[in-house]
Amino acid sequence: MKNKGRLFIVAAPSGAGKTSVVTNVISKLKQTIPIERVITLTTRPKRPGEVNSIDYYFLSEEEFLKKQNENYFIETTKYNGYYYGSPKSIIQDMKNGKSFILITDTAGANNFKKNIVQDAITIWITVPDVHELRKRLEKRHTDSPEVVEKRLQIARHEIERETKEKNFNYHVQNNNIEDAVADLIKIIKQNLELKA
């Protein structure tokens, strides 16, 4: 019988580099392990350099809500005024042996673990401090100063809560991307019972 795939849920404060870390991890692992990133659907506008169907599926709010009504999603969340949702199809794919990495916010991670995939592995990616997040968000040049402030406010709250409550199975510090990628690969291999 084929081994069941696992779901790895990665969350992080805005600007911590979760998408870059996950993209690197998947490009290193996909030759040897059936693992993919869950491509989330979102109503958020596309950032420069993002590609539809690779980074996200970008939808209008009307299209998103239509899919929600059709029961297409396994979960949805609203973050910073935009909808995000994960397709239900990943459940069947996991039964067939494929593993996934889902990038979401802390609320999405907790909801997933509690209500949808109880054996999901949750990973919190963070950086040394909020000043580092500010630098990274400003360096992106994708958000107005007001949006950066709003993202930092949410990030501060998320960091404080995770420091107190320790909701995630693992914590990965993203001081430099190579180390963070190596740490995440080790966690994935450990949980798939593969030699690191």
DSSP 102-149: EEE-HHHHHHIIIII-TTPEEEEEE-S-HHHHHHHHHHHT-S-HHHHH
Q: What is the CATH number of the domain that holds 154?
A: 3.40.50.300
Region of residue 65 (left: phi > 0; alpha: psi -120 to 50; beta: else): alpha
Q: Return the number of other C-beta atoms located less than 10 Å from residue 176's C-beta.
A: 9
Establish if 139 belongs to a structural domain. yes
Establish if 124 belongs to a structural domain. yes
Each residue's pLDDT tens digit in the chain (196 positions)? 457 899 999 998 877 888 889 999 999 998 899 999 999 999 999 988 889 998 899 999 999 999 999 999 988 888 879 999 989 999 999 999 999 999 887 877 877 777 777 789 999 998 877 777 788 777 777 778 888 888 888 888 888 888 888 889 999 988 888 999 999 999 999 999 875 5
Residue 179 in contact with residue 22, Cβ under 8 Å? no
Establish if 2 belongs to a structural domain. no
Task: Please give the tally of structural domains in the chain.
Answer: 1
Establish if 115 belongs to a structural domain. yes
Tokens 């009307």 found at = 62
Establish if 1 belongs to a structural domain. no
CA distance 133 to 145: 13
- Domain span at residue 115? 7-190
> Which positions ≥6 away from 1 have C-beta within 8 Å?
none
Establish if 195 belongs to a structural domain. no
Establish if 196 belongs to a structural domain. no
Tokens 């999603």 found at = 73
| HSE-up of residue 36 (Cα within 13 Å, Cβ side) | 13
Q: Model pTM?
A: 0.82
